[in-house]
Amino acid sequence: MAGGRSLAAYIVARILLAIPMLIILLTAVFLILRVLPGDPILALWGGHTPPQATLDEARRALGLDQPWWVQYWNYLTGILRGQLGTSIGELYRGQPVWFQISERLPATFEIAIGAMLVASGVGVLAGVTAGARRDTKVDVALRLYGTIIWVIPIFWLGLLLQLVFGVWLRWLPPHGRWTGADFPVRVTGLYTIDSLLEGNFDHFAKAVAHLVLPSLTLGLVLSGFFTKTVRANMMRTITADYTDAARARGIPRRLIVYRHAFKNALVPVVTLLGLQFAILFAGAVLTEKTFSIEGIGVLLLNSITSKDMTMIQGVVVVYAAIIVVVSLVVDVLGAVIDPRIRL
Amino acid sequence: MELESPEQPKPAGAAAGSRRLLAIVAVIIVIAVVGSAAYILTLPPAVKKYPLELWYNNDGHYGATEENLATVLKSSIESCGHVTVTLKSDTWAAYKQRWAAGQMPVFLLGWYPDYFDTDDYVSPFLSTAGAKSLGSFYTNASMDTLINNEQVAITDAGRAENFTKIQNGLAADVPYVPLFSGVAQAAFVNGVTNVELHPVVFKWSIIGKTGFAQLNASTSDKIISLDPASAYDFFSIEVINQVFDTLLVYEPVTSKLLPGLATTIPTVANGGISNGGKTYTYHLRPGVTFSDGTAFNSSVVKRAIDRAIRLDLPASAAFLLYDVGALRADHKGGNNTVAGTITTPDALTVQFNLTSPVSFFNQLMAFSVAAPVPWTYSSTKEQPSTVGSVVGTGPYKMTQHTVNQLVVLQKNPTYYNAGLYASFSIPSIPVMGQVNINIRSSSTILKQDIETKAVDVVFRTLTPTDLTDLQNRATTLGITVKLGASPQIRYLVINQNTITDKRVRQAIAYSVNRADINRIVFNNQVTALYSMVPPAMPFASPVFQGAYGDANCTAANALFAKIGYGLMQPVLWIARDN
């Protein structure tokens, strides 16, 4: 009972901490966008300047004629009401921000989930192997792998994989989320899930095939971090007292490694997942651009270049919300696995 | 023991040592002075260089070659030795604001014509209002008069005389330096037919692929808006041209006009142009319907033009109607056209009464902003670019639009003009029942598309390097790479408010090296441009070729020397003179 209460208190505390974090982030984004030089209304018209009355009307319609604090208040209260506003940029002009985000979020989610599977699968396996074979040739090779793959630019690796598997070997589609016009019927927007829901396995295979290269690109880069972290933790746990005790009792090495050292080495890795998710989303921008996938990363990129303030704010809000929620879930998961965290 | 007196003379050996030391110091000083003098005298003369800021766009608005282009320009201008060029860049959104605010002294820009007339290569650049909106701030009352004269002249002879004077004035004042015309490009798999690099519209409706029901294509262009009242970017207009017809349309290969929704092209001879060129009358085809089944008539045409003018949507081409097209809008009275400007004598006749003659009004009526839209289109705001909301009279209707991913065009079953190009050996359009145009995020992906034959046609914009590579491997890949002249022009804008001395602008014109640009940046795929009017247009005259040529450093330096930039006298001479 006491443990349950402390866990609940921990969750409430984390949620309460997330609120000021979000407000600070939203305020920073709001201020940065208004401090940056340039007028978004003039940017819309560009070279051809319409009559002043037209410009004033456009400014009024978008609420940009209000003092900044009024705009800030409208912005915050709008978010609380779930209204992210309407795009004012050249590319998405007049379209609801949430519509554009919701159209693209599934693409980013699919890449993120695929990449996380690759990163954790490859990273954990490589880390455990390296940690269990400390200072052997395998360890050196995997350490090198961890360092090199972590610093490889995502777009470079992406282009390499596209060239080899997409263009030369033609095993996988080199880019995009889909080929052709026969999209799966939209339910969740996740092509893999939607194709399964409609019971079309050809569509499912097509969706997965399009997902392989971007997930591999982003996942492999992130696996470097996992490799190094898991290896370090493995080395710590493999020399811990409880593994010594297990060894003294004559338990086989394989069992010691995978039943005792490995399990305990994973605990800190789980807590790092939250941080990795933020890096994952940043990496998704480059991955989406490289593979011509219309996710929210590309949406953010396009919005920044067209000075679409409302769209940038909306995307950042969604990014922040996702990362806060994921961090929260991971922290709670960590607290459940390791009771010391909530003490 | 005797103490040594301070006055006691130094021994002879010590005095000799001091003299030797003095002599050595003196020799060193003499050597240093002579050496320094010799060094200074052999130095190349100091040069006072003109500082120039050259700006370019850095987020791909003009493709991936822009930085290279700016670098080659910097190199060619600096190579004459009298200018120091500082390169600066910005994103497109900021770039547009910078030129409107007059913050860029010299910058790279491009132009794709709206209406296909020589005027569209002149008035936007050299009229006072146009030059202001394009950042050169050029203003010349004589030039304004010449432009007005060519716009109102109905005969070719009258226009020719004015265009000659206009281009000569351009070369004399140098508010712009024309650089090159772009290259139109498409790559397609063997078996695809009728891929024409039309100067105005890439006609998807004439492309065929024997034995197939669908055509798959890809482009790296984006769709901004599919409302004719709003669209003013290349690919949006491209899609609009497939879904909407205009009163007049273009032939499949050339820029010659054909009747579209109108039955004839108005001319003075057939009475369609009257009142000294101020009234244009169009007779409309009977029995035409929009793809949603609603009727097309003169009221629809009037309402569509009025709507575009009244909305005057941001970044739209509405100004071509109310300003360039002399239909005028009452900006103080709800932005509507003045009563009587557009009249509908009957259901199949529409008449435009312009405030002044516009010699290219027919070309304006062939531009997407003048495309008739049905009554269902919102009269207060932009029409969404979604399936069901985009309704036209053209050969295709849009059946799918996944933003920035895919647009699907299917044959419009109610299309009124299937035999439009029958006399051009294309019996019926659209040739393909369905065209799927994939929208890609980069030119690299376009190249992959055609290499792997994931699509049948790749249209805009492959990089020069990729085009050359594909050309070299075309036979192996089983594809055709087609290049042609593009109506797009690229040029340098020189801000008259910042660089007020005409001689500096002329010196820049002298020092530009177009051959280097073509060879280094574009693999010899573009065409050097010596007037803002490209050579394919009527009345074009390559005035910059005769006046300035290329890489003429002698002439450039002579001008810089006259205004105090160039060789300076060596320091020693200055000292002597003083």
Q: What is the 3-state secondary structure (H, E, C) of B303-352?
A: HHHHHHHHHCCCCCCHHHHHHHCCCCCCCCCCCCCCCCCEEEEECCEEEE
- The mean pLDDT value for B316-336 works out to 83
Give the nearest chain A residue to B137 (CA atoms). A47
Give the span between the Cα atoms of B409 and B419, in whole angstroms.
Answer: 19
Higher-confidence residue of B552 and A29: namely B552
A167 touches chain B (CB under 8 A): yes
- Is the pLDDT reported for residue A342 higher than 50? yes
Chain A nearest C-alpha distance from B94 (Å): 6
Give the span between the Cα atoms of A68 and A84, in whole angstroms.
Answer: 17
- Work out the pLDDT band at B3, boundaries 50, 70, 90: very low
Nearest to B490 by CA among B123, B69, B198, B59: B69
- Work out the pLDDT band at B1, boundaries 50, 70, 90: very low
Higher-confidence residue of B98 and B420: namely B420
User: Chain B, 277-316: which have a CB under 8 Å from a chain A CB?
Assistant: 312, 314-315
- R_g of chain A, CA atoms, integer Å: 24
List CB contacts of B485: < 8 A, sequence separation 6 or more.
B181, B183, B184, B197, B199, B527, B534, B536
Task: From chain A, pick out residues whose CB is under 8 angstroms from the CB of B445.
Answer: 174-176, 292
CB B249 within 8 A of CB B200: no
pLDDT tens-digit readout, B385-406: 999 999 999 999 999 998 888 9
Q: What is the pLDDT of residue B94?
A: 83
For strand B434-439 and strand B406-411, is the pairing parallel, antiparallel, or unpaired? antiparallel
Q: What is the pLDDT of residue B330?
A: 76
- The mean pLDDT value for A165-192 works out to 89
Task: From chain A, pick out residues whose CB is under 8 angstroms from the CB of B384.
Answer: 95
Least confident of A43-52, A170-179, B22-31, B479-488: A43-52
Q: What is the pLDDT of residue B550?
A: 96
pLDDT tens-digit readout, A130-163: 988 888 999 999 999 999 999 999 999 999 999 9
* Strand locations in chain A (E): none
- Check B440 against A175: CB less than 8 A apart: yes
pLDDT above 70 coverage of chain A, percent: 93
Give the span between the Cα atoms of B437 and B405, in whole angstroms.
Answer: 8
Give the nearest chain A residue to B216 (CA atoms). A180
A174 touches chain B (CB under 8 A): yes
Residue type for B14, please? A
Say which DSSP state A292 is in. Answer: T
List CB contacts of B495: < 8 A, sequence separation 6 or more.
B102, B104, B105, B106, B107, B135, B136, B137
Q: What is the pLDDT of residue B574?
A: 41
Give the span between the Cα atoms of B465 and B478, in whole angstroms.
Answer: 19
> Which residue of A48, A167, A294 is the best one to mutate when testing the B interface, meaning the one whose CB has the most B CBs within 10 A?
A48
Give the span between the Cα atoms of B33 and B31, in whole angstroms.
Answer: 6
Residue A130, token pair as written in the block = 């390296």
- The mean pLDDT value for B266-278 works out to 94
- Is the pLDDT reported for residue A305 higher than 70? yes
Residue A80, token pair as written in the block = 């609380």
B400 touches chain A (CB under 8 A): yes
pLDDT tens-digit readout, B513-524: 999 999 999 989
- The mean pLDDT value for A50-63 works out to 76
The winner for highest mean pLDDT among A50-59, A242-251, B83-92, B168-177 is B168-177
DSSP string of B474-486, one letter each residue? HHHHTEEEEEEEE
List CB contacts of B154: < 8 A, sequence separation 6 or more.
B268, B273, B276, B277, B357, B359
> Which residue of A41, A44, A45 is the best one to mutate when testing the B interface, meaning the one whose CB has the most B CBs within 10 A?
A45
- Bridge partners (DSSP) listed for residue B55: B88, B107
Burial label for A97, CB within 10 Å (0-12, 13-18, 19+), is buried
List CB contacts of B12: < 8 A, sequence separation 6 or more.
none
For strand B457-459 and strand B214-219, is the pairing parallel, antiparallel, or unpaired? parallel
CB B383 within 8 A of CB B277: no
CB A197 within 8 A of CB B424: no
Chain A nearest C-alpha distance from B480 (Å): 18
CB atoms closer than 10 angstroms to residue B56: 24
CB A324 within 8 A of CB A98: no
Give the span between the Cα atoms of B366 and B114, in whole angstroms.
Answer: 10
Give the span between the Cα atoms of B174 and B190, in whole angstroms.
Answer: 46
Alpha-carbon torsion, ordered B324, B328, B334, B338, to 10 deg: -160
SS3 of residue B437 by DSSP: strand
A306 touches chain B (CB under 8 A): yes
pLDDT tens-digit readout, B538-569: 999 999 999 999 999 999 999 998 888 875 44
Q: What is the 3-state secondary structure (H, E, C) of B484-499?
A: EEEEEEEEEEECCCCC
Least confident of A325-329, B199-203, B212-216, B495-499: A325-329
Q: What is the pLDDT of residue B350?
A: 97
Residue A310, token pair as written in the block = 């409302």
SS3 of residue B214 by DSSP: strand
DSSP string of A75-114, one letter each residue? HHHHHHTT---B--STTTTTSBHHHHHHHHHHHHHHHHHH
A181 touches chain B (CB under 8 A): yes
- Is the pLDDT reported for residue B78 higher than 90? yes
Average pLDDT of chain A to the nearest whole number:
84
Average pLDDT of chain B to the nearest whole number:
90
Contacts by A178-182, CB closer than 8 A, 24 or more apart: A178/A206, A178/A207, A178/A210, A178/B405, A179/A206, A179/A210, A179/B454, A180/B216, A180/B436, A181/B400, A181/B406, A181/B408, A181/B434, A181/B436
SS3 of residue A228 by DSSP: helix
Burial label for B422, CB within 10 Å (0-12, 13-18, 19+), is exposed
B336-to-A250, B231, B311, B332, B356 alpha-carbon distances in Å: 93, 20, 9, 9, 18
- Work out the pLDDT band at A49, boundaries 50, 70, 90: low
CB atoms closer than 10 angstroms to residue B171: 22
Say which DSSP state B115 is in. Answer: S
Q: What is the pLDDT of residue B100?
A: 84
Residue B206, token pair as written in the block = 């004439």
For strand B248-250 and strand B566-567, is the pairing parallel, antiparallel, or unpaired? unpaired
pLDDT tens-digit readout, A96-110: 899 889 989 999 999
Residue type for B403, please? V
CB A55 within 8 A of CB A45: yes
Task: From chain A, pick out residues whose CB is under 8 angstroms from the CB of B452.
Answer: 166-167, 170, 174
Residue type for A238, please? I
Q: What is the pLDDT of residue A248?
A: 78
- The mean pLDDT value for B447-457 works out to 93
> Which residue of B96, B232, B443, B495 is the best one to mutate when testing the A interface, meaning the one whose CB has the most A CBs within 10 A?
B96
- Work out the pLDDT band at B298, boundaries 50, 70, 90: very high
Run of H or E including B435: strand B434-439
Backbone angle region of B60, left / alpha / beta, with phi > 0 → left and psi within -120 to 50 → alpha: left
List CB contacts of A180: < 8 A, sequence separation 6 or more.
B216, B436
Give the span between the Cα atoms of B334 and B338, in whole angstroms.
Answer: 10
- Check A289 against B454: CB less than 8 A apart: no
Give the nearest chain A residue to B111 (CA atoms). A47
CB A104 within 8 A of CB A91: no
- Work out the pLDDT band at A4, boundaries 50, 70, 90: low
Give the span between the Cα atoms of B353 and B330, in whole angstroms.
Answer: 15
CB B114 within 8 A of CB B120: yes
- Is the pLDDT reported for residue A253 higher than 60? yes
> Which residue of A98, A179, A291, A292 is the best one to mutate when testing the B interface, meaning the one whose CB has the most B CBs within 10 A?
A292
- Bridge partners (DSSP) listed for residue B397: B410
CB B180 within 8 A of CB B532: no
Of B96, B335, B400, the CB nearest to A43: B96
Burial label for B503, CB within 10 Å (0-12, 13-18, 19+), is middle
A226-to-A221, A327, A335 alpha-carbon distances in Å: 10, 17, 20
